Structure formats: structure tokens, C-alpha cells
Amino acid sequence: MIRAMRKEPFLEGHIVHVIKRGARGADIFVDESDKWQFLRALFILNDTYKSNDWRRETLNLPLFVRPKQWPGRDPLTRILAWTLMPNHIHLVLQETKAGGISKFMQRLGGSMTLAFNTKYKNQGSIFQGSYKAKKVEDDDYLKYLIFYVLVKNVFELFPGGIQSALNDFEKSWIWAMTCPFSSFRLSVRGLPSPILDDPQGLIENAISKNNFSKTEIFEMLKSYLEKEQIS
């Protein structure tokens, strides 16, 4: 179970786990195109420059390309990891500017709600209030957070869930390594991404230090599932 989360002041360098949930548990992604547009939003909206018409301005551009007439990109925060679930999102962010995480999350929530309501002729916020956030206090929590956000949630998305993933781990491992809606495969393989920004290698170093190998991830998932079944 993830630790209780709350809003608190964040200082430069703080690593923060952010969750934003759909209202009343409703899905915030209806199809894959919604997820791809969210990934575009992660890249475009994480910027001190703001365009209220950014969707139209980027419509015919590749996914992670900004219009040439925009000023140079200046991210509000560092995105260290992410995973998209049907009715909520997980982000691991690092504060780099005063209030950067808060401003980024406000933009992200407002943009997603507007896009969803326009596409599906809906009204009102699609989210359950504001985002929830928790600062990472130590290395042990960072290790657990990487497991929770990048491993547990990804394999939970595998058809049939974690138990099904464990039953055919070779198949589920390949599936997880090709899943585009989480930074799991990028972080495990140490691959670059336009969205991710981790110059200190915080996630990569934690993965290496804590031996997030294929075999160890299987054992982590097995242990997690056993504990869940007991509780």
C-alpha cells in the first residue's frame, strides 16, 4: 500500500510522487489516442512558456516537437518517471523551480479536462479534486516508489493482472518492455526520452543499486501479490 499522501511545500531538488485520479473512479483515458495526447501534454506543458492554443499549434507536428516560433524550452519541473492507469496517473517529479510542480499539475489537469470534455461532450472536471503529492524522504522509499509506479502498475495493466503476468512471465515481460504508456522500459533499459529529464540519474542509479533485474522483478511481484492476498 502506498503511503498516505498530502500536499506540502516542496523545495528545489525534492523528489515528489504525484497521483491524479479520475472523478468517482471514472476512466480518464477512453482509448489509446487519449493516452498519446497525454504524453504530448507531458512534454508540451512542462514549460514556462504557455500557449492557450497549443493543441492547434502542434496538431500537425510529430509527437514531441514544439513549434519553431516558440521560445526555447524551459521546463517547470523534471519528470523522472510516469505510468498511466485507466482512471489515474502516477508521476515522479523533481522540483526545480519554486512552485513548478504545482503550476505544471494545474496546467496538465486543466488541459486534460478541456480535451476530454471537447472530445466526449462532457462537462465538469474529469478529476477527483486536486492532485495528491508526497515527498520522497529516503532511499528506501524511492526504491519502493520505483517498484510501485513502474513495476507493480505496469504489470497490473497486463491482461489478467499481476497473477496472469506471473503465470506467463516471459510473455508479460516482453509486453511490459513494449508498453509505451509508462517509462518502465525506458528506465530499465536506460533509454532516453523527450519527456524524461533526470540528469543526476536518480532513477537509473536506484534501479541499478537495488538490482531491478528481470528475475528480481518477478520475485518482487510475487511477494507483493502474496502480501495482498493475505491482507
CA 158 vs CA 56, 99, 152, 173, 174: distances in Å? 34, 36, 10, 10, 11
Evaluate whether residue 147 is within a structural domain: yes
Verdict on whether the full-model pTM lies above 0.85: yes
Question: Burial of 50 by CB count in 10 Å (0-12 exposed, 13-18 middle, 19+ buried)?
Answer: exposed
Task: Please tell me whether residues 39 and 115 are part of one structural domain.
Answer: yes
* pLDDT mean over 26-40: 95
Evaluate whether residue 6 is within a structural domain: no
Evaluate whether residue 1 is within a structural domain: no
Q: Quick one: pLDDT band at residue 129, thresholds 50, 70, 90? A: confident
* pLDDT mean over 205-231: 92
Q: Which domain holds residue 199?
A: 138-230
Q: What percent of the chain has pLDDT over 90?
A: 90
What is the number of structural domains in the chain?
2
Task: Please tell me whether residues 42 and 142 are part of one structural domain.
Answer: no
Contacts of 55 (CB under 8 A, 6+ apart): 115
Q: Where does a domain end: 134, 149, 168?
A: 134
What's the pLDDT at 1? 44
Q: Where does a domain end: 79, 105, 134?
A: 134
What's the pLDDT at 27? 94
* pLDDT mean over 16-24: 95
Evaluate whether residue 195 is within a structural domain: yes
Residue 6 predicted with pLDDT over 70: no
